[in-house]
Chains A and B, each alone.
Chain A
Amino acid sequence: MSATSAVEQAEIRAMARELAARELAPRAAALDGGGRDVFEECWRLLVELGFDRVLLDERHEGAGLGIADLLAVVEELAVGEGGVAMCVLLCNAALGTLDDEQLAQVPAGARWAVLRAAPAEVSGVDGRLDGMVACALGAHGADGLVILLEVPQPAAWAIVAGAPGLTLEDDTAQMGLRAARAASIGIAGIESAPRAADAIGSVGIASAPGAMALLRAGTAAIARGISRCAYEKALDYAQARRQGGVAIIEHDAVSDMLAAMAVRLACPQRAVTDSSRIVIDQAQALAMKIAASDAAVASATDAVQVFGGTGYMVETGIEKVMRDAKYC
């Protein structure tokens, strides 16, 4: 499969941007409040555009696009709503690890999620999975889960929702990205055939390390979308709000913060991918994730500061951006 052209990628990006502005941003407060009907409505719209299967090809009713396209999509979606963007990323990363046979069992519109489990949390030995993972983003209500393990060797385990031995408990304390509703997952003796580290999913992602790199690069893209959201909201407010006889953007204390946000956005943070659509460098993906999430927290925190006391109130929506940023 060939990578998309710059023109095609711009069109995809524009499509995601429009959806984020038209459908997600106006529903951000409801999604943050945990409205599942609202979320299902948004998911249906995303599925209609093929954003749940960006990486899959036509055989699996996918869009057949590359990782760079997926990163562009989740960044644009995150400008509208970070939690929904995270669900899109998790679903694509999860499905990307499955082989053709497994994908054939996944119905259209299904939402999967992927999570990494530490050795102390989950053990996978002799085809049997046991353990517990707290606060797995997007797990609540997911149709299937892919669990990434690093020991005894890197591997990805796919579990369909409702499998015997799988229990999910809603994480009611989740602070950010609340549209990607988290759950604590209990796994008791689930038998499954893990896909080894070098097993390649149908879209060419090496199952475990590839999915981890994709998650990190994707989280960086979401963090970047959140940074843009924070900047745009703060800029609008600073131009409208007056203090001391002038718009507050005229005060250095405010314009300095806005400039710092713009500088953070100007730094290149996109992943380098090759034509086979595999994130090239694991370390680069990790570095991108760290830099972008730090930038998002800094920009969102400054954005609340630009709003002052108003920004601390839920109704303005900017404090939600700050909470979402901390979860990246």
Chain B
Amino acid sequence: MTSITAERPLSEQFPRLAADAGRLDVGELQRIRARARRFAKEHIRPRALEIDRRTGEEPAWFDWGLVRAGGEAGMLRLLIPRPAGGDGGMSTQAAVVMEELCVACPGIALIFGAHALGISPLLLGGPSQWDGVLAELIESEYTTEPQLMACALTEPEAGTDVEDPDLLRRARITSHARRVPGGFRLSGTKRFISNGSVARWITLLMPTDPRRPADTWTCFLLDTRSEGFAVSRVEHKMGQRACPAAELTFDEVFVPDERVVSREGDGAAATTIVLACSRPPVAAIATGIARGAYERVLGWLTEDPAANGLLQRQHVQLALAGMEEEIHLARQLYMDAASELDHTALGGVVSHPAVRALAHVPGSLRRRAPLRGWLASDRARDATIALLHRTTSDRAVTRSLALSSMAKAHGGDVAMRVTGTALDLVGLSAGPVRAELEKLWRDAKLTQIYEGTNQLNRLEVYRGLCRSETMSCLPPLRRIELDADAAARANGHGRPHLHTDEAEQPRVEGNGGRA
């Protein structure tokens, strides 16, 4: 039994989408939603309880069959830009899909959500990323071994701290990316990384100077086959178990310069933009969980004789109406936040003539030496940042982050309330539906915690909306002012670095040199 509000056409539910019609094809979005709903119904829901049970016993167990099926249904390519062969989606597409998948199982949905999160930082790298790993991900979909991505941010001593630029300044960061000739050596530990144990590629953030994590927070693209990388444990979670959360250790893992995403020191800004982009889909995860609980309890009350006429009781009717109301509002919030980001905050850069022109250049030409070399150059990275500055602003991104945070915090609370009420309605004697509802209730709790706790998210709302503060969300136009050694600019690539010589930077062992 599907929620009536979820059945409505997207253009009718969200008139604002029409304003973005130049960039966003609402009909295509509608088809993506239908595809996700079909995949959830045919592949996810029938296996959800069994996978939850099995991963409850063996946390590291992983169902690659679902990933293959998801790849065939287009769930892996949503955010990959069209020039790289993907669907070119942004926050809106990811959110719409997440709600549909989470109605069936948030844990399985998280596999695809964490994959999209791993891709997100690469999108900020601009066209230079189109022909590398992103294209490889697309190619892998046509094989029997599709590749997954993950994003590694949280550390054992810093969870919420790493999701806020101000808190990051005082965070107890224990990881360290040490500058060496030709690249960086990564040391430290990352924790609770969704898809961490199954990802082929991981975008991860570490400081190049642990004494100044906020200024030197840098995004790297890691090949998980690199020497020194290890999955040190897979967590036993309360819920969302189908997607493994892993602890990752880095023992002097080498990452070459060309796998620094964007520029050294741009990581804090990149994190802010990525969170503004990823929180609406997380809010959609929560909304999907709530809808899943609502649809199940409504189905049970309507169809199961064990419900024994409960549906005729007014207090049950009021509870159902309250659920529908909360789910509808949660959906409006996340779609508003996603539209704000895709259309207002980042719409300008995506639809900029230069980006569009590059997108029309055939891949075969783009991958040839002259253009490929330019796209990988520091100048191109600077140009990407400059384009961001021309097409958006710190204020626009701050506001977008606040709306995303509001949707995420509200959605998480709605998921807990609705799943809790659904359990109260069916009681312990409801039969199989009880196990599904209990699973959704366990799953729901994580939506109040990951992607920043709800408390942190509401503080972002306070800063961005209540106080109208403007955060430094965009990477600086040039990072030369951070350059400690002018000579470093001539180190072969001409890229500015905080530290370019091993002799300058004391080698830090073990925990990565806690400041």
Are A and B subunits of one complex? Answer: yes
Chain B contributes a number of interface residues (CB within 8 A of A) equal to 43
B430 CB contacts on chain A under 8 angstroms: 134
A133 CB contacts on chain B under 8 angstroms: 429
A121 interfacial by beta-carbon distance below 8 Å: yes
Chain A proximity mask over B304-343: 1 for CB below 8 Å, otherwise 0: 0010100000000000000000000000000000000000
CB atoms of B159 and A309 under 8 A apart: yes
CB atoms of A308 and B160 under 8 A apart: yes
The complex places the Cα of A327 from the Cα of B428 at a distance, in Å, of 8
B236 interfacial by beta-carbon distance below 8 Å: yes
Contact A326 B423, CB 8 Å, known A134-B431, A309-B192 = yes
The complex places the Cα of A243 from the Cα of B453 at a distance, in Å, of 13
**B140-172, CB < 8 A from A:** 154, 157-161, 167, 170-172
CB atoms of A134 and B448 under 8 A apart: no
**B153-211, CB < 8 A from A:** 154, 157-161, 167, 170-172, 191-192
A314 interfacial by beta-carbon distance below 8 Å: yes
A118 CB contacts on chain B under 8 angstroms: 308, 429
CB atoms of A173 and B434 under 8 A apart: yes
Closest A residue, CB atoms, query B459: A253
Contact A312 B167, CB 8 Å, known A134-B431, A173-B435 = no
B261 interfacial by beta-carbon distance below 8 Å: no
Chain A proximity mask over B439-475: 1 for CB below 8 Å, otherwise 0: 0011001101110011110010000000000000000
B290 to chain A, nearest CB (A): 15
B235 interfacial by beta-carbon distance below 8 Å: yes
Query: How many pairs of A and B residues are in contact by the CB < 8 Å rule?
Result: 94
Q: Classify the interface of chain B: helix, strand, loop or mixed.
A: mixed
For A137, A312, A319, the residue with the greatest tally of chain B CB atoms inside 10 Å of its CB is A312
CB atoms of A309 and B450 under 8 A apart: yes
CB atoms of B306 and A313 under 8 A apart: no
The complex places the Cα of A175 from the Cα of B419 at a distance, in Å, of 14
CB atoms of B434 and A244 under 8 A apart: no
A297 interfacial by beta-carbon distance below 8 Å: yes
A245 interfacial by beta-carbon distance below 8 Å: yes
**A109-161, CB < 8 A from B:** 118, 120-121, 133-135, 137
CB atoms of A135 and B434 under 8 A apart: yes
A207 interfacial by beta-carbon distance below 8 Å: no
A310 CB contacts on chain B under 8 angstroms: 159
A242 interfacial by beta-carbon distance below 8 Å: yes
Closest A residue, CB atoms, query B157: A242
B420 interfacial by beta-carbon distance below 8 Å: yes
Contact A135 B445, CB 8 Å, known A243-B160, A309-B450 = no
The complex places the Cα of A172 from the Cα of B404 at a distance, in Å, of 39
The complex places the Cα of A182 from the Cα of B438 at a distance, in Å, of 15
Closest A residue, CB atoms, query B412: A305
CB atoms of B442 and A314 under 8 A apart: no
**B226-261, CB < 8 A from A:** 235-239, 245
Contact A305 B161, CB 8 Å, known A313-B237, A326-B441 = no
For A243, A310, A315, the residue with the greatest tally of chain B CB atoms inside 10 Å of its CB is A243
The complex places the Cα of A120 from the Cα of B236 at a distance, in Å, of 39
The complex places the Cα of A308 from the Cα of B154 at a distance, in Å, of 12
B293 interfacial by beta-carbon distance below 8 Å: no
Chain B proximity mask over A173-187: 1 for CB below 8 Å, otherwise 0: 101000000100000
Contact A309 B449, CB 8 Å, known A242-B172, A301-B416 = yes
B152 to chain A, nearest CB (A): 13
CB atoms of B428 and A134 under 8 A apart: yes
Closest A residue, CB atoms, query B239: A312
B238 CB contacts on chain A under 8 angstroms: 304, 312-314, 319, 322-323
The complex places the Cα of A170 from the Cα of B236 at a distance, in Å, of 24
Chain B proximity mask over A286-328: 1 for CB below 8 Å, otherwise 0: 0000000000010001001100111111110001001100110
**A1-54, CB < 8 A from B:** none
A135 CB contacts on chain B under 8 angstroms: 428-429, 434
A312 CB contacts on chain B under 8 angstroms: 237-239, 445-446, 449
Query: Which of A137, A297, A305, A313 touches B235 (beta carbons < 8 Å)?
Result: A313
CB atoms of B308 and A244 under 8 A apart: no
B362 to chain A, nearest CB (A): 44
CB atoms of A308 and B420 under 8 A apart: no
**A85-126, CB < 8 A from B:** 118, 120-121
Closest A residue, CB atoms, query B59: A314
CB atoms of A314 and B449 under 8 A apart: no
For A120, A173, A322, the residue with the greatest tally of chain B CB atoms inside 10 Å of its CB is A173
Binding site for A on B (CB under 8 A): 53, 154, 157-161, 167, 170-172, 191-192, 235-239, 245, 306, 308, 416, 420, 423, 428-431, 434-435, 438, 441-442, 445-446, 448-450, 453-456, 459
Give me 18 A-to-B residue pairs in the complex whose CB atoms sit less than 8 angstroms apart, sorted by A's number. Answer: A120-B306, A121-B429, A134-B429, A137-B428, A182-B428, A242-B157, A253-B455, A253-B456, A253-B459, A309-B192, A310-B159, A312-B445, A313-B237, A314-B237, A314-B238, A319-B238, A322-B238, A326-B423
Binding site for B on A (CB under 8 A): 118, 120-121, 133-135, 137, 172-173, 175, 182, 242-245, 251, 253-254, 297, 301, 304-305, 308-315, 319, 322-323, 326-327
Given A175-B438, A305-B453, A319-B442, 10 extra CB contacts under 8 A: A118-B429, A121-B429, A134-B431, A182-B428, A243-B160, A305-B455, A308-B453, A309-B159, A313-B237, A326-B441
- The 3 A-B residue pairs with the shortest CB-CB distance, nearest first, are A253-B455, A173-B435, A319-B238
